[in-house]
Structure 1
Amino acid sequence: MSQDPTENIVETLLTKSTVKQQTYRNVCTAFKQLLEEAHLLVDVLSAKTTERDQDIKLRVESINDQEFHIQVAGDLLVFVLHTNVITLSDDYDYSKSEYVLEKPLRKYLGQINIYNFMSDSFEFNRLNDPGYLLARLLINHENHFIAEGDRQVGFMFKSASSKPLEKVDLNILIKIIITQAAENDLMAPPFPKIRHISVREKMEKTQSLGGGNKIGFQMSYQNGQ
């Protein structure tokens, strides 16, 4: 007669549950720290820019416990805390790293996604305007982290951190993200695509006519990959 697996199931459930709960606590703490760092950085930027141009909009807005926004001129950075703890697929470098293979429970990650929208999209309720994922911050139960993103983000934070997440890491991440958003401009759609419109389109989307996409943020699916 085979041994009853009940106790093994219970132990597995308890272990995974404990790890996932600690992971979620860590990502919640990081989200609050991101909000604090955002306020501090925007205060500094506001003080420096107001001297030369008082019309540049810089502000931080807390939406709820899982979302806050940073407006930087015409850009709106949207920070979203996901309530689910996830794992990455086996083909990720992180999943194949010695760090995870040594202790598989390190694979469980909390996530914060950071999107870039045009601020006018929200102000004028342009529901069809696109947003772009700039970065994703992933944190495990040991408070070690990786960050996915284009250019500097992917270059600096791709590998798992050798030490727990600190406020200085979050400060650097926010600065890089704001820089990337500010450096990428709008590109108008080709003239033939906006040559004809219906009366309904005019009535429903007056504010969005001729709106553009952000240069430099073409997602992989747009290339057919």
Structure 2
Amino acid sequence: MSQDPKENIAQILLTKSGIKQQAYRNVCTAFKHLKEQSVLLIEELKSKTSERDKDIFLGVEFINDQEFTVRIAGDLLVFVLHTNIITLPADYEFYKSDYVAEQPLRKYLGQINVYNFMADSFEFNRLNDPGYLLARLLINYENYFIVEGDRQVGFMFESISSKPLEKVDLDVMIQLIITQAAENDLMAPPFPQIRNITVREKMEKTQSLGAGNKIGFQMSYQNETKA
């Protein structure tokens, strides 16, 4: 006798729900450690810079359970814990791995995104100023993880880790992210692009006229599909 379709649906939901809940618990634990480590790192940086230059602003602010910010001089890093568990596009390299092929439930991932904004954008309420995605951390129910980012942030980690996430991995990640933000300079818009402005633009954007933008990175699967 074949299985009751409704029982089959219920079993699928129960299995996926348990997997997703464990992935979310893992990503929440990682987010908590990133917050704690950010505070420790900022305090250490303050001790190394305050005597030589008291005008370098460094700080951590807790916005809510899903967001905190790290101020690094003129940069503001925004850490966001997403409450939804996601999967990645089917053409993503992650799906081609033996790891996922062996157990498809490993594809469900919790995520933490790190955005880089100019601190002045918030100080002067420049609502049209862009930020960019500096890095993202993806974690599954087995606590295996992916880190995507620009330069060293992306290079230091494999497409999928060879072992479960440890605190030392997060410590390295937060240091690389802060280093990346500090090293990434502003890029001014081309001269012809800002040659002409309207009175409205002058009135509304006085603080941001001529301001530079920071350049983010594309996810590896986006680069592949656009190639």
1:204/1:183 Cα in 2 relative to 1: closer, same or farther (>3 Å)? same
Measured in 1, the distance between the counterparts of 2:8 and 2:218 equals: 43
Separation in 1 of the partners of 2:3 and 2:114?
48
Instruction: Please tell me whether the aligned partners of residues 134 and 217 of structure 2 are also in contact (alpha carbons under 8 angstroms).
Output: no
- 1:81 matches 2:67: no
Inter-partner Cα distance in structure 2 for 1:102 and 1:187: 45
Q: Does 1:96 align with 2:96?
A: yes
User: Offset at 1:15?
Assistant: 0.4
Q: Per the alignment, do residues 164 and 19 of structure 1 end up closer, same or farther by CA in structure 2, a change over 3 Å counting? A: same
Q: What is the deviation of 1:213?
A: 1.2
* Letter matched to residue 24 of structure 2: Y
Partner of 1:8: 8
2:27 equivalent in structure 1:
27
What are the superposed Cα offsets for residues 160-211 of structure 1, whole Å, 9 maximum, x if unpaired?
Answer: 2222211111111011111111111112222222222222111111100111
In 1, distance between residues paired with 2:79 and 2:192? Answer: 35
Distance in 1, matches of 2:87 and 2:3, equals 30
Aligned residues of 2:23 and 2:108 also touching (Cα < 8 A): yes
Name the % identity.
Answer: 74
2:169 matched to which residue of 1? Answer: 169
Give the aligned residue type for 1:28.
C
Q: 1:2: how far off?
A: 5.5
Question: Once the 2 structures are TM-superposed, how far is the Cα of residue 77 of structure 1 from its aligned partner?
Answer: 0.6
1:139-180 CA-to-partner distances (Å, cap 9, x unmatched) read 001111110111112212233222221111111101111111
Q: Which residue of 2 is the match for residue 189 of structure 1?
A: 189
Q: Which residue of 2 is the match for residue 137 of structure 1?
A: 137
State whether residues 133 and 217 of structure 2, in contact with CA within 8 Å, keep that contact through their aligned partners in structure 1.
Answer: no
**One-letter amino acid of the counterpart of residue 147, structure 1:** V
Distance 2:218 2:212 in 1: 15
State how far apart, in whole Å, the 1-side matches of 2:79 and 2:26 are.
16
TM-score (norm 2): 0.92
Residues 58-116 of structure 1, C-alpha deviation per residue, up to 9 Å, x if partnerless? Answer: 10111111111111010111111111100112221211111111111111000000111
User: Which residue identity is paired with 2:192?
Assistant: P
**Other-structure match for 1:109:** 109
Amino acid at match of 2:60: V
* Structure 1, 158-167 or 87-96: larger mean CA deviation: 158-167
Query: What 5-or-longer segments of structure 1 have no aligned partner?
Result: none
Q: Does 1:56 align with 2:72?
A: no
Moved more, 186-195 or 199-208: 186-195
Deviates more, 1:139-148 or 1:151-160: 151-160
Deviations for 1:4-53, whole angstroms, at most 9, x for unmatched residues?
Answer: 32222111110000111111111111111110010011011110011211
Residue 216 of structure 2: aligned partner: 217
What is the CA RMSD across the aligned residues, in angstroms? 1.8
Aligned to 2:67: 67
**2:19 maps to amino acid:** V
Task: Flag structure 2 segments of 5+ consecutive residues without an equivalent.
Answer: none
Q: How many residues align?
A: 222
Q: Contact (CA 8 Å) 2:24, 2:83: kept in 1 or not?
A: yes
Q: 1:149 is matched with which residue?
A: 149
Q: Is the 8 A contact 1:37 1:167 kept in 2?
A: no
Question: Tell me, what secondary structure is at the counterpart of 1:146?
Answer: strand
